[in-house]
Amino acid sequence: MKVRKLIPLGFIALCFFMSSNLFAQKRDFYELRTYHIENAEQEAMLDDYLSKAFIPAAHKNGIAKVGVFKPIASQPDAGTKVYLFIPFKSMDEYLALEGKLAKDQTYQTAGSAYINAAFDKPPYKRIESSVLQAMTGQPKFAESELTNAKKDRVYELRSYEGPTERLYKQKVKMFNSGEMDIFSRINCSPIFYAETIAGANMPNLVYMTTHENMEIRNEHWKVFGADAAWKGMKDLPEYQNTVSRNDTRLLYPAEYSDL
């Protein structure tokens, strides 16, 4: 009789362990949206929409943090792009958001100038969007640990394109097997690492690190290049020729950005 009672308890414990383990490994999905803009008027309209309509509506629908980033003044694309980073717990949450916004009267009212913009006064030139999935080495996004003024920060958004799917996967492995650890160890306060599952430059991975200012950003890269772990892995045969193009964007967070 005692054995028969213990079997169900053991089975329940095993199921709980397995479900907890699966939950721990669940990875975020992200949308990385790039608004291409042509003038200060479009930027102001976009800022108003994101800060007063979209981000509050996202919060209401369970998306706790939304990032908005712009190129720093020294970059050639300064004033021409606004980046929007939206983390989702699942693809279902991602797919459901647009429908929820369509039914949200508060959002519709707050975002009316953007939503109902005239054809000859649009709030942007074009929108470019990628759907990403967090890497296993950091399955959830993280807030930056920086505390200095947002306008002084440098957030580094990098996309590493692979020449083939096989070689791209080796670069992902490299990140999951130690490269992420180096960034954390040298205090780059990474926000996310992700694989692109739908976008223009596949196969590619995308990640974002954060730095107090440009001087510290440059120092971080010097430290990274001299790191013993990096030196030990960068010349391994399995990691050769994994990146065919490195696209680097130096950004700062908008004052109303959550991240």
Position 53 scores a pLDDT of 98
Domain ranges of the chain: 27-253
Report d(CA 195, CA 169) in Å as an integer.
9
Residue 163: is the preceding peptide bond cis (ω within 30°)? no
Position 25 scores a pLDDT of 63
Per-residue pLDDT tens digits of the chain, which is 259 residues long: 444 444 444 444 444 434 434 444 699 999 999 999 999 999 999 999 999 999 999 999 999 999 999 999 999 999 999 999 999 999 999 999 999 999 999 999 999 999 999 999 999 999 999 999 999 999 999 999 999 999 999 999 999 999 999 999 999 999 999 999 999 999 999 999 999 999 999 999 999 999 999 999 999 999 999 999 999 999 999 999 999 999 999 999 999 999 9
Return the DSSP state at 249: E
Helices (H), 66-213: 91-103, 105-110, 112-115, 165-174, 180-185
Buried b (16+ CB within 10 A) or exposed e, 123-154: bbeeeeebbbbbbebbeebeebebeeebeebb
Position 1 scores a pLDDT of 42
CATH fold, domain 27-253, is Alpha-Beta Plaits (3.30.70)
Q: How far apart are the first and last CA of the chain?
A: 57
Position 166 scores a pLDDT of 98
Closest CA to 233 of 170, 167, 189: 170
